[in-house]
Amino acid sequence: MKKKIAVIPGDGIGPEVMKQTLRILRFLEEKFRHEFEVEECLAGGVAIDKEGVPLPDHTLKTCKDADAILLGAVGGPKWDHLEGTDRPERALLTIRKELGFFANLRPATLFPAMKDACPLKPSLIEKGLDLMVVRELTGGIYFGEQKTITEKNGKKSAYDTMFYHEDEIRRIVKIAFEIASKRKRKLLSVDKANVLESSRLWRKTIIQEAKNYPDICLEHMYIDNAAMQLIRDPNQFDVMVTGNMFGDILSDEASMITGSIGLLPSASLDADQKGMYEPIHGSAPDIAGQNKANPLAMILSAAMMFKNSFDLTREADIIESAVEKVLDEGYRTADIYSENTVMLTTEEMGQQVLDTM
């Protein structure tokens, strides 16, 4: 199979974890005689430094031309003084919007070997933990009209608009129903319909759409309650779908509950299987360049790419099994190190996964 992959190492630990991921990519390319045309490009803080903008035009063009995008991480304290559209994060938001990556899939999985890292009581996760948060990614308050108003007396006010069109809601909830139908046939829709008009439209639309999925059990929950219930008993959920802002909060909370945050990948997809794949952890500038970072979330993001964008399930499975095996065997990077495990550097961890594959 021949594929074009845009690779954005980004800031902080991004380049290091990407390097290990590319080794694995090359290995699978050779083994299964694929042809991966990898084009590295700049985005985030490093692009601000070198080209003055978080997302240079040629990076956007490379992303548009590619079949899939791998992204390390963007941002860091160096660029924290910048405002609004000048910030590194803008690169992410622009790629999402420009490429129509409206469906953000965030699996929150507890790796058996990582049980002890879970912040919840053992009794709450006896059965493990395996949630999928589906977040709308190109609408809502992230992309509605926003403005700061200065009065004559110098006083300021500001607003943001949470806007949803029913078609935007429909296409994301369809994806969630499809995912639910391949899992436990249970879907939780999270909103704030007791207060927000856009949430009421969200709820009406998903209830309509549910008629096309009669075998899926759809439930609804307010975001404040969902934020509590996730902690009280995460296993009551399976697939959750929600808007951009609530999804930002809920998916991070769900990840933290697993305690495996250094290990979790994510996918941001358009309607045609094209997507951007990135670890959910940040750029961790404090350990950047020290060969300490954990490459597993980035490596698992590549596995998501194989599965979701290239339909290469075998390749994805090989990666995922290797990662699980490496963890089971007690290999750890510093961030997830605990007593009686073996500490590896970023490179050694990459090598360990390769060897296991």
Considering Cα of 303, then 306, then 307, then 313, what sign does the dihedral take? negative
Q: Say whether residue 252 binds a second copy (CB under 8 A).
A: yes
The answer to whether 284 is annotated as binding is: yes
> Residue 192 catalytic?
yes
Q: Pattern of binders to a second copy over 26-65, x per CB under 8 A? A: ----------------------------------------
For tokens 């009669």, the residue is 214
Shorter beta-carbon distance to a second copy: residue 39 or 253: 253
Shorter beta-carbon distance to a second copy: residue 68 or 284: 284
The answer to whether 264 is annotated as binding is: no
The answer to whether 78 is annotated as binding is: yes
84-96: string of b/e by CB count within 10 Å (b at 16+)?
eeebbbbbbbbbb
Phi then psi dihedrals of residue 240, to 5 deg: -120, 140
Q: What is residue 119's DSSP assignment?
A: S
Strands 103-109 and 186-191: unpaired
Residue 130: contacted member of a second copy, ligand IPM, none (CB under 5 to 8 Å, by partner type): none
Distance CA 59, CA 26 (A): 22
Q: Give the binding range for a second copy (CB under 8 A) out of 24-32, 57-65, 147-155, 326-334.
A: 147-155
Distance CA 320, CA 313 (A): 10
For tokens 């997507």, the residue is 275
Return residues touching ligand IPM (CB under 6 A).
89, 92-93, 194-195, 224, 248
Question: Tokens standing for 244?
Answer: 């951009």
Residue 152: contacted member of ligand IPM, a second copy, none (CB under 5 to 8 Å, by partner type): none
Phi then psi dihedrals of residue 84, to 5 deg: 45, -120
Nearest to 173 by CA among 225, 219, 135: 135
Residue closest to ligand IPM, measured at CB: 89
The answer to whether 167 is annotated as binding is: no
Distance CA 229, CA 188 (A): 12
Q: Give the binding range for a second copy (CB under 8 A) out of 6-14, 30-38, 80-88, 105-113.
A: 80-88
> Residue 215 catalytic?
no
Residue 260: contacted member of a second copy, ligand IPM, none (CB under 5 to 8 Å, by partner type): none
Q: Answer for the pair 298, 266: CB distance below 8 angstroms, yes or no.
A: no
Residue 148: contacted member of ligand IPM, a second copy, none (CB under 5 to 8 Å, by partner type): a second copy
Q: Pattern of binders to a second copy over 333-352, x per CB under 8 A? A: --------------------
Q: Give the binding range for a second copy (CB under 8 A) out of 13-21, 34-42, 107-115, 243-251.
A: 243-251
Q: Answer for the pair 323, 296: CB distance below 8 angstroms, yes or no.
A: yes
Nearest to 193 by CA among 213, 169, 160, 212: 169
> Residue 252 catalytic?
yes
> Residue 116 catalytic?
no
Would you call 46 exposed, middle or buried from its count of C-beta atoms within 10 A (0-12, 13-18, 19+)? buried
Shorter beta-carbon distance to ligand IPM: residue 166 or 224: 224
Q: Pattern of binders to a second copy over 100-139, x per CB under 8 A? A: ------------------xxxxx-x---------------
Q: What angle do CA 263, 241, 237 make, to 5 degrees?
A: 70
Q: Which residues are annotated as a binding site for NAD(+)?
A: 76-89, 282-294
Q: Which residues are annotated as a binding site for Mg(2+)?
A: 224, 248, 252
Q: Active-site residue numbers? A: 142, 192, 224, 248, 252
Catalog residues that contact a second copy under the rule CB under 8 A. 83-84, 87, 89, 93, 118-122, 124, 141-142, 144, 146-148, 155-167, 192, 194-201, 204, 223-225, 227-229, 231-232, 245, 248-250, 252-253, 255-257, 261
